[in-house]
Structure 1
Amino acid sequence: MAVDTFFEALENQYSNQLPFVVYSRPINSIIKCWLQTDDTLYKTTEFSESGFVFAPFDLENDSVLLPQDKCKQFTLETSHLHLDEEKQKIFIDDSGKEEHLSIVSKGINFIKSGELDKVVLSRQVTKPMDTINPLDIFKRLFNTYKNAMVYCWYHPKVGLWLGATPELLFKVEGKRLTTISLAGTQPYSETNEVSWTHKEYEEQQIVTDYIAKQIEPYTSQIDISGVDTVRAGNLLHLKTYIISLIKDDCSLKSIIEALHPTPAVCGFPKQEAKDFILNNENYNRGYYTGFLGELNLKSSKPRNTNRRNVENNAYTVLKTESNFYVNLRCAQIKDNKVLIYVGGGITKDSIAENEWEETVNKTKTIVNVLS
C-alpha cells in the first residue's frame, strides 16, 4: 500500500471517531494498522481471542480488545516517513517535584523497614499543546525510535495513547516463550564510557530473578542470557533475555498473570509493591505500565527453509503468536493536552533527588518527539 493511502485511511478512521491502532515493532520497517469497523468497546478477560489488546496496569480494570474479525488490516513497508509541519515548543517545569520527592522518600523508608525490596514510583506531567495531530506524532516516533515498539492507539470510549516502548513483556511463538528484564536508566552520550552502579545492577537482577521464578511453574528449559546495555532514544538500559518452553496445560492468561506487572514497572514483592503504588501515587496510571500488542494471531511458516528440499517445503507449520510490550515512554492526548507518564525503580540505595532527575530525563525523551 502507498504511504499516502495508508495514512489517509487512518485520518478518515480518526475523523469518524472509530477505533484504530497503528504500530511498528522494534528493528522493523513494517508498519501495521488495524481499523475497527464499528465503535463498540470490546473487552477481554481470558485473553483467548484473536486481535490487538490494550491492557491496564491493574488488570482489575478493563483490557480493551480490537477483535481481528472486526477490523480491517493494512501493512506498509518503509524505513522513513516524511514530515513537513513546524514543531511546537513545550515548556518543561518542575511542578510536582516536592510531591514526588516526598513519595520517593516514603518508598525508600518503606523498603528499609523490610516491607519491600523494590517499588516503581511514577508521576504524570501535563503539557498544553495548541494543535495536535496524533498521526504526525506517530511518524516522528517511527523515524526516531527504531529499536522500540512505536504506536498510536485510539478508541472513542477510552482515549488516545501514543508511545515508543523498548520493553517486551513477552512474546509467544507456538510453545516458545521469550521475555526480557529491563532496568537501570542513564542518559546516552557519544563521548562518555558507559558505567553502571551497584544499585542499577541490583535493580536489574531483581527483575531477572523475579521473572525466572514466576515462569518456572508454567515453563521448562529456562535459559537466561547475560546482561547487555541497550539504547532507547537518548537513554540506556540494562537488558537480559529469558527464553523457555510453555507447558502443554498452561494458558496464556496464566503467563500474563504471572508476569504482569513486572518489577520493572511495579516492584517486588509484586502485590505489596502494587498496593503501595495504588495507595501513594495520588493518580490513576490507567494504561501506563499496562501492556499492548498482538494477541493469538495465526502464522504459517515452511517446515524447512532449504529450497532444495522440495518435499519438506510442501508442508507448513501453523503457529499461534502473541507479542506484548509494556506501555512505557508513553503519553495520553486529552482535551488539547498531553499527559506524559514517567517513573523509576526505587531500592534501598536510591536517592530521592536522583530519582527525580531520572523522571525529568524520561520526560525529555517524549517531549523531544512531541515538540
Structure 2
Amino acid sequence: MDQNSFFEALENQYAKQLPFVVYSRPINSVIKCWLQEDDTLHNAKNFKESGFVFAPFNIEEKSVLFPKANCTYLEIECSDIETKTIIQTEILPNETERLQHTALVSKGINSIKNHDLQKVVLSRCETKSLQDTNPITIFKRLFSTYKNAMVYCWFHPKVGLWIGATPELLFKVEAKRLTTIALAGTQAFNESESVKWANKETEEQQIVTDFITKQLEPYTKTMTVSEVETVKAGNLLHLKTRITSVLKDDTDLKSIIGALHPTPAVCGFPKAKAKDFILQNENYSREYYTGFLGELNLKQATTRNTNRRNIENNAYSVVKTQSNFYVNLRCMQLKDSSAKIYVGGGITKDSIPEMEYEETVNKSKTIGSVLE
C-alpha cells in the first residue's frame, strides 16, 4: 500500500465517523492504523483480549478496546510526510489559569510538607482555537516533528478525538520479558547551555525509579536498572532510567497494569493518596490524559535456527505475544473547532509554584506547535 492510499483510507474512515487509530512508535518509520468496522464501543475487561487499547488515568473507569477481530489493519513504511509550513501562534497567558494552577501547586506543597504525600503530579487544561480541524493533517505534522515519541491520533464517535506525541513508555512485554522506563524531571532545552539538574528533578526521578522497581519485584525473577540519562523530547529535556525484568510464569498483564499505572511520573507517591488528592483538587476530569494506549496481546513471529526442524531452512517460527503501552502525555483532545491541551508537572517539597506553572507553559508549546 502506498502513502496516498493509506491516508485516503483513514480520511474515509473519519468521514464515516467510524473508530480508528493511527500511530507510529518512537524512532520508527512504520505508520500503523486500525480501522474498526462499526461504531460499537468495546471495552477491555481483563486485558487478555487482543487489539489496541486506550485506557484512562483512573483505571477504575472503562478502557476502550479496538478488537483485532473487528478491525482492518494497515501499515506503511514512511520516513517523512510532506506537510505545509505553519505559522505558530502562541497561546496567550491566562491570568486566571495561572492563579488557579499556582494555588493548586501551593496546596500540593503544603500536603507534602505535612507528610501526607511525598510527591504529587498536578495538571491543568488550556484551550486553543483551531483553523485546521482535520486530525489526519495534525497527525502528519506530529509524525514529521517528533521522531522520538509515540505519535498517534485516536478517534471513537462515542468517546472523542485524541492526538498526542508521548515520549514515555509505560511498559512493553514480549513473552515474559518486560521493559519499562522511569521518566521524570523537566527543563527547557537550550543548545547553548550545558545541562544541569537541580535536586528537585533528581529526587523526582529517583521516586519514580524506586516505585517501579518495588512494584515489579513480586512479579519478576530478575531485574536490571540502567544509569540515569538525559533525553530530549521536542523542546524539553527529561531524566530517564530503563528497567528490564523477566516475569514469573504465573504473572498476568492485568497485575502489571495494576502495579504500575498510574506511575509517580503522572500521579505521585504514595500512589493511592496522590491519586485521591488529584481527583479531589484538580477540579476537572483528566479523562484519558495520563492514561495509556497501545497494542494489546498481539502475536509476533520470530525465527530460530535449529538442526532438528524445518530441514529446508534450518529454522522454525516461534509465536510470542507482545504488548506495548505508552503513557498518554503531551496530548490534546479536539472538540468543537478547538484543542484542549493537557499539561502538568511533578510537585515535591522543593517546588516553586510560579516555576511549576512556567513548566506547564513550556509543555503546552511542545504539543501546540503542530496547531494552526
Distance 2:312 2:119 in 1: 55
Distance 2:281 2:146 in 1: 32
Which aligned pairs between 1:150-189 and structure 2 lie closer than 5 A?
A: 150-189=151-190
Give 5+ residue unaligned stretches, structure 1.
none
The residue that corresponds to 2:33 in the other structure is 33
Instruction: Tell which deviates more after alignment, 126-135 or 221-230.
Output: 126-135
Distance 1:84 1:141 in 2: 12
Counterpart AA for 1:366:
I
CA root-mean-square deviation: 1.6
Distance 2:312 2:250 in 1: 33
The residue that corresponds to 1:321 in the other structure is 322
Q: 1:316: Cα distance to partner?
A: 1.8
Q: 1:305: Cα distance to partner?
A: 10
Distance 1:305 1:233 in 2: 45
Q: Report if the CA contact (8 A) 2:90-2:365 is conserved.
A: no
Counterpart AA for 1:97:
R
Distance 2:140 2:87 in 1: 13
Q: Report if the CA contact (8 A) 1:162-1:331 is conserved.
A: yes
Q: 1:45: Cα distance to partner?
A: 2.2
What's the TM-score once normalised by structure 1's chain length? 0.97
1:3-39 alpha-carbon deviations (Å, 9 max, x no partner):
1100000000000000000000000000000000010
Counterpart AA for 2:26:
P
Distance 1:214 1:269 in 2: 12
Q: Secondary structure at the match of 2:171?
A: strand
Q: Secondary structure at the match of 1:331?
A: strand
Q: 1:163: Cα distance to partner?
A: 0.3
Q: 1:91: Cα distance to partner?
A: 3.5
Q: Secondary structure at the match of 2:43?
A: coil
Distance 2:239 2:85 in 1: 35
Distance 2:180 2:106 in 1: 31
Q: 1:130: Cα distance to partner?
A: 3.2
The residue that corresponds to 1:144 in the other structure is 145
Which aligned pairs between 1:354-365 and structure 2 lie closer than 5 A?
A: 354-365=355-366
Q: 1:312: Cα distance to partner?
A: 7.5
Q: 1:87: Cα distance to partner?
A: 4.8
Distance 1:209 1:287 in 2: 25
Distance 1:310 1:182 in 2: 47
The residue that corresponds to 1:240 in the other structure is 241
The residue that corresponds to 2:197 in the other structure is 196
Give 5+ residue unaligned stretches, structure 2.
none
Q: Report if the CA contact (8 A) 1:35-1:73 is conserved.
A: yes
Q: Report if the CA contact (8 A) 2:88-2:369 is conserved.
A: no
The residue that corresponds to 1:81 in the other structure is 81
Distance 2:313 2:113 in 1: 60
Distance 2:82 2:246 in 1: 42
Counterpart AA for 1:78:
C
Q: Report if the CA contact (8 A) 1:182-1:239 is conserved.
A: yes
- Identity %, equivalent residues: 67
The residue that corresponds to 1:253 in the other structure is 254
Q: Between Structure 1 and Structure 2, how many residues are aligned? A: 369
Distance 1:59 1:121 in 2: 18
Change (3 A) 1:86 1:363: closer
Runs of 4+ in 1 over 6 A off after TM superposition: 309-312
Which aligned pairs between 1:267-278 and structure 2 lie closer than 5 A?
A: 267-278=268-279
1:91-112 alpha-carbon deviations (Å, 9 max, x no partner):
3222411010000000000000
Distance 1:69 1:333 in 2: 28
1:43-64 alpha-carbon deviations (Å, 9 max, x no partner):
0121110000000000111100
Change (3 A) 1:106 1:312: farther
Counterpart AA for 2:82:
H
The residue that corresponds to 2:109 in the other structure is 108
The residue that corresponds to 2:64 in the other structure is 64
Distance 2:121 2:59 in 1: 17
Q: 1:259: Cα distance to partner?
A: 0.3
The residue that corresponds to 1:348 in the other structure is 349
